[in-house]
Amino acid sequence: MEIKKGLYYTEEHEWVRVSGNTAYIGITDYAQDAMGDIVYVELPEVGDTLKAGDVFSVIESVKAASDIYLPVSGTVLKVNTELEDSPEMINEDPYGSWIIAVDMLDDTELDQLMDAAAYKEYLSEEN
């Protein structure tokens, strides 16, 4: 299971890539593998302001629907509209396929998240 260095991770298997005050958010390799073939990604609206812990997307695989939680509070700057036509990109390249980008309200929330080493440890405990 791939875990990429330099990203922040949640216990719910989302990742965060920080660039300035912008947080790009996606789901981990573990998450895409657990879901299986992804067929649909429900995206929020640009401009929505959401709190950490809110459900910002629902990913539908063939077998089930999964809620995706926002790791950090913020306003939605961009949504990855490529996922509308090619949701399987998340299976193929989970760390390259961000779902949304948010303008962070409070970047100290990042301190609550795990780094790659801690997430690796967390995964090994989970299984």
Residue ranges binding another protein (CB under 8 A): 12-14, 27, 31, 34-37, 39-40, 42, 58-60, 62-69
Closer residue to another protein, CB minimum distance, 21 or 51: 51
Structure tokens at 1: 């299971």
Closer residue to another protein, CB minimum distance, 11 or 21: 11
Closer residue to another protein, CB minimum distance, 62 or 108: 62
CB of 81 to another protein, least distance (A): 13
